[in-house]
Amino acid sequence: MRKIIILFVSLFSLLTGIEAQEKLTINTENSTIRWIGEYTFHFGGHDGYIQFKEGFFIKKGNKITGGEFVIDMNSMTNNDIKEQEGKDSLINHLKDPDFFDVPKYPIAKLEILTIEYFKNNKGKIHANMTIKEITKPITFNAEFNYDKKEMFARFKIDRRDWNVSYKSKFKNGAISDAIGFEVTINL
């Protein structure tokens, strides 16, 4: 009888201590990832967009606590080059093995591990980013707009951490090791 009571109390404590969580699927058509690659020694560079393949947030209570997002590396576009031939040339080069090797690694992932909230629905996100099947931790700030069901973040990564190893042959054309991202996620 004593074992049954202990088991019942333990089970009740466990069940009442578990906070309900909700999986919120993102709207991939209304969510955006803008990438920015800059030159090292002068102003300028390239930018474009890449699309989410799928993704979700985990919500506990009234706060986002986690999530996972899959990025379609084949969806890369360019904004700054005017002629289509130049756009195609740049995007094909970015898909080569010395950049993202997209034929071999067609997806990238971001997994939110934890969020430290500040005031006004801002927080520091601790996540794992996977590019070319290499997973590294990253940290960045984000802003959550619960009325619009939206999250916005800006951050940079060091591409060398994911074996994105292209080196320009021209000093004045050298690209930065940092890749910038502006991300807006809508539900």
Q: How far apart are CA 38 and CA 167, in angstroms?
A: 13
The tens digit of pLDDT for each residue in 55-109 reads: 999 999 888 899 999 999 999 999 988 899 988 888 988 898 888 999 999 999 9
Altogether, the residues listed in the chain come to a count of 187
Identify the pLDDT of residue 68: 97
Domain map (residue ranges) of the chain: 20-186
Beta-strand ranges (E) seen in the chain are 21-25, 32-39, 45-60, 63-72, 107-117, 122-131, 134-145, 150-158, 175-186
* Nearest C-alpha neighbor of 94 from the set 178, 24, 37: 37
Average pLDDT estimate for 34-45: 78
- pLDDT at residue 10 is higher than 70: no
DSSP state at residue 111: E
What average pLDDT does range 153-173 have in this prediction?
75
pLDDT of amino acid 12:
54
CB 158 within 8 Å of CB 177:
yes
Mean predicted lDDT score pLDDT of the chain? 85
Q: What's the confidence (pLDDT) of residue 41?
A: 64
**What is the rounded CA–CA span in Å between residue 81 and residue 24?**
36
Lowest mean pLDDT among 97-106, 130-139, 161-170: 161-170
Question: Cα-Cα-Cα-Cα dihedral of 165, 170, 171, 172, to 10°?
Answer: -110
In sequence order, the 6+-apart residues with CB closer than 8 A to the CB of 135 are 128, 129
pTM: 0.81
**Coil, strand or helix: which one is 44?**
coil
More confident residue, 83 or 14: 83
CATH architecture of 20-186: Beta Barrel (2.40)
* pLDDT above 50: residue 51: yes
> Range with the lowest mean pLDDT among 39-53, 88-102, 105-119?
39-53
Question: pLDDT value at position 173?
Answer: 47
pLDDT at 40 over 60: yes
Residue 92 CA to residue 86 CA, distance in Å, equals: 10
Per-residue pLDDT for 170 more than 60?
no
